[in-house]
Amino acid sequence: MEQPEPAHEHQGRVAVITGGGRGFGEAFGRSLAARGAHVVLADIDPAAGERVASEIRAAGGEATSYDCDVSDEHQVAAMFDDVVERLGGVDILINNAGLHSQAFNEPMANSGIDKLRSLFDVNLMGTIICTLAAAPVMKGRPGASIVNISSAAADGCQTAYGISKLAVRGVTVTSARELGGDGIRVNAIAPGLIFTDTIRAELPEAVVDMVKATQVIGRDGEEQDVVEAMLFLVSDRAKFVTAETLRVGGGLSIHV
């Protein structure tokens, strides 16, 4: 089957992206908007989300921003209700919002219960809450696809952050089983060391060198590498792919 031109690949589709005001979420939103989707950028920082949405609109794309905490089921439900009322439904959901700073790369005993609870509320429960809210309004829509953002840190499970991202993989499999009958595919991406602005600012050079030494591909991971994985998973090119976690880490987590 002939593929549509990239600029029109997602024409008329609605894509909800959590954590859409910065980092991967911003890059996902810009890329999908450039391919014709109306992108809905949900972010706990409304100014960040609106900045990206405004710039997308100024470039000729379609975008809406929402002030939304993914760990709050009432805010999430209200957002999806409004999106459906305005735009008619949802075709793509990218569960990208997450806590991932260096602050969580420490022993659990040092973090404290409140900090750990906030981590799991966002990284795990936020993914579950958004998936459950989106599923009824994605049901039966052609090419409906959910992409969760896991992490290569899940392979080692050396920190609470890694555990939270391992749980995202489990939720991906369970959601794919539960929603497959409704025509919704669910997959995940597990980025390795990707040089976003946050990573460049936070990670010590010694840590960067140590991680890169374990990669099979020696170059720096780039944000666009993760964007390309997302574009594949939400496209018809992946219409027979579900319940999978696609590692994007230059061979960092290589195993059989």
Model pLDDT for residues 216-243, shown as the tens digit of each residue: 888 888 999 999 999 999 999 999 999 9
Q: What is the band of 5 on the pLDDT scale with cuts at 50, 70, 90?
A: low
Q: What is the band of 44 on the pLDDT scale with cuts at 50, 70, 90?
A: very high
Mean pLDDT of 145-156: 93
Domains of the chain (ranges, CATH numbers): 6-248 (3.40.50.720)
Q: 89 burial class (0-12, 13-18, 19+ CB within 10 angstroms)?
A: middle
User: Among this protein's residues, is 66 annotated catalytic?
Assistant: no
The pLDDT score that the predictor gives to residue 245 is 97
The pLDDT score that the predictor gives to residue 253 is 66
Q: Which of 161, 164, 193, 229 is catalytic?
A: 161
Model pLDDT for residues 81-129, shown as the tens digit of each residue: 999 999 999 999 999 999 986 677 788 888 899 999 999 999 999 999 9
